[in-house]
Amino acid sequence: MPQVRIVARNFMDMVASLPALKLDKLYENSFICEAILRSLPSLAKKYVLQLLYIDGPVTAKWLEEWVLPDGVSKHKAAVDRLVQLRILTETVERKKEATYLFNSTFQRNLQKHIVHGGVLPRESMPSNITVRLPSLEELDAYAVQQWEFFLLHLINSAEAEKSTNISSSMMKVFQRGLLSQRDDKEPPKLTESGFQFLLMDTNAQLWYIVREYISNCEEVGVDTADLISFLLELSFHVTGKAYNLNTLSDRQRSITKDLADLGLVKLQQGRKESWFIPTKLATNLSISLADSTSRKQGFVVVETNFRMYAYSTSKLHCEILRLFSRIEYQLPNLIVCAINKESLYKAFQNGITADQASIATLHNGKIHLFFFQTCKMQIISFLQQNAHPRVAERTPTVPENVTDQMRLWESDLNRVEMVPAHFYDEFPSKDVFEAACDFAREYGGLLWENPKKMRIVVKAEIFTQMKEFLRKQKQ
């Protein structure tokens, strides 16, 4: 089952997994180079910009001189990321230190983009055409409406408006991993990941859907590099500006129609030509890839008596609140609900939670891991991220007695999960230990760490990557 908490990182892992020739083909597009640059960790961005006009290989020792001693672990994580994306190529000769060579394709096109800017290969609508285009407000409303149609299908397809025109085949692709169905007689139900998905912010949801869409296209023989290139390039278009559909290939036109169903673009038919108009969902793709989330207007007020007031006219908001609270009544622009033990237990049983806390014990030389759900649930995170402006500036935005009680109700369940894992100790130095922690954390595999005794527990699923990383540390 996909772990939807790490959407952006998994997408970049998908880019990093492309064969060398396809990755170089991707880097031929200067806009893609900028999008990749945005996605990098801060230190990795610094290295790219400092090495951008340096020809020839540079030594590992020279790069290490750019950081303070306490930044060694972040340095190694940054370099590893650049190597994974083939922005840097590592060469290690016998009895000589490692050297790194900048990817010439990436270097050349990023230089060109920084110095000269870029011109999109799309023809925008000429000023002499008098077709009425939607205003930015109308475009935002369209994008929100289309996206809510899709999310309502996830919660309850019967509740979704019939006016949505997403094809059943594409809907199955988007819902993969989020819905399950035992047989044709039973309606599909949300999986644990599906419940978690609904409480994520829009940018994270969007990249999960994009990743699933890319995986599906790859299965039917579409070139992954071309698809990723087109999607990231789309994010550099101007919101609300119309572009000629005839400048797209047949495959790109088909993709654009799928994106229109989700609200990323709006299709506009003129007298002679057809146009597509990017919405904020599309133009924010490369921004959300860099995890730069802009705060959206909140709508929820939580009171100390466990009552919630949601100032919204959205049917989607009502259905999401219903996942973990009891709806008491609904007015045209106000939803009144309450959080109680029964409503939270229902949510917990459906898998709504957040980060897991672990307790690790050693017994007879074997590691025993126990996972308990923590109070920092996705529910609390959702309420904090969607707090009404009147309470958003308060500290805390959700009353402490409410979060404390939610913690107690959750601990009552005492749920335990067994996860295959590997135990590592006897690290040669503190730096190597911290680098290993950062590496495991970057891949979402760090389960437990003890800095004093330099011991860590890592998920078994990243054992191969961890083994290769530790091998490099010994060199």
- The answer to whether the beta carbons of residues 89 and 103 sit under 8 Å apart is yes
pLDDT for 295 = 53
Does 288 or 273 have the greater pLDDT score?
Answer: 273
**Each residue's pLDDT tens digit, 332-342:** 999 999 999 99
Are residues 47 and 28 part of one domain? yes
Asked, for residue 18, whether it belongs to a domain, the answer is yes
For position 330, what pLDDT does the model report? 93
Q: Is residue 359 part of a domain?
A: no
Rounded Cα distance between 123 and 134, Å, is 18
pLDDT, tens digit, 9 for 90 and up, residues 131-169: 788 999 999 999 988 888 888 888 875 555 454 567 777
Can you tell me the distance from the alpha carbon of 230 to that of 31, in angstroms, rounded to the nearest whole number? 10
**How confident is residue 2, by pLDDT bands cut at 50, 70 and 90?**
very low
Q: Read off the DSSP letter of residue 333.
A: T
Residues of the chain above pLDDT 70, percent: 84
What is residue 41's predicted lDDT score, i.e. its pLDDT?
A: 86
Q: Is 123 part of a structural domain of the chain?
A: no
Give mean pLDDT, residues 113-121: 79
The tens digit of pLDDT for each residue in 223-268 reads 888 888 888 888 888 899 999 898 888 889 989 998 998 899 999 8
Domain presence at residue 294: no
pLDDT digits (tens, 9 = 90+) for 73-100: 899 999 999 999 999 999 887 677 889 9
The answer on 162 and 285 residing in a single domain is yes
CATH (domain of 57):
1.10.10
Q: Give the model's pLDDT for residue 154.
A: 80
Identity of the amino acid at 364:
N
Residue 288: predicted pLDDT:
58
- Assess if residue 121 is contained within a domain: no
Statement to judge: residues 32 and 90 lie in one domain: yes
Q: Are residues 58 and 158 in the same domain?
A: no
Choose between 86 and 182: higher pLDDT. Answer: 86
Average pLDDT value over all residues in the chain: 82
**End residue of a domain, out of 413, 434, 464:** 413
pLDDT at 292: 44
199 pLDDT tier (thresholds 50, 70, 90): confident
Domain count, the chain: 4
pLDDT of residue 397: 92
pLDDT number for residue 184: 65
Buried b or exposed e, range 17-30, using 16+ CB within 10 angstroms:
ebeeebbbbbbebb
pTM of the model: 0.70
Tell whether 369 is covered by a domain. no
Assign 355 a pLDDT band (cuts: 50, 70, 90): very low
CATH number for 448: 3.30.70.2610
Pair 401, 439 in one domain = no
Q: In what order do the strands lie in the sheet with 99-102?
A: 58-59, 99-102, 88-91
Domain that holds residue 466: 421-474
DSSP secondary structure code for residue 443 in this structure = T
Q: Both 431 and 340 in a single domain?
A: no
131 assigned to some structural domain: no
The per-residue DSSP string of 70-82 comes to GGHHHHHHHHHHH
Same domain for 259 and 305? no
**Does a structural domain hold residue 367?**
no
Residues 305 and 252 in one domain: no
Do 145 and 262 share a domain, yes or no?
Answer: yes
Residue 218, pLDDT > 80, answer: yes
| Tens-digit pLDDT profile for residues 428-472 | 889 889 989 989 988 888 999 999 999 999 999 999 889 888 888
Q: Give the pLDDT confidence score for residue 354 in this predicted structure.
A: 37
Shared domain check, 109 and 17:
yes
Shortest CA distance to 223 belongs to which of 85, 9, 26, 33? 26
At 379, the pLDDT band (50, 70, 90 cuts) reads confident
How far, CA to CA in Å, does 382 sit from each of 103, 138, 282, 392, 400?
A: 41, 27, 23, 12, 15
176 pLDDT tier (thresholds 50, 70, 90): confident
Mean pLDDT of 168-172: 76
Give yes or no: residues 440 and 467 share one domain.
yes
Other C-beta atoms closer than 10 Å to the C-beta of 207 total 22
- Give pLDDT tens digits for 283-307: 888 765 655 444 567 899 999 999 9
pLDDT of residue 359: 38
Q: What is the DSSP letter of 387?
A: B
Average pLDDT value for residue range 358-364: 40
CA gyration radius for the chain? 25
Domain co-membership, 203 together with 159? yes
Please give the pLDDT value at position 10.
53
Q: Over the stretch 26-60, which tens digit does the pLDDT of each residue have?
A: 899 888 898 899 888 889 999 999 999 999 999 99
Helix (H) or strand (E) holding 459: strand 455-459
* Three-state secondary structure call for residue 63: helix
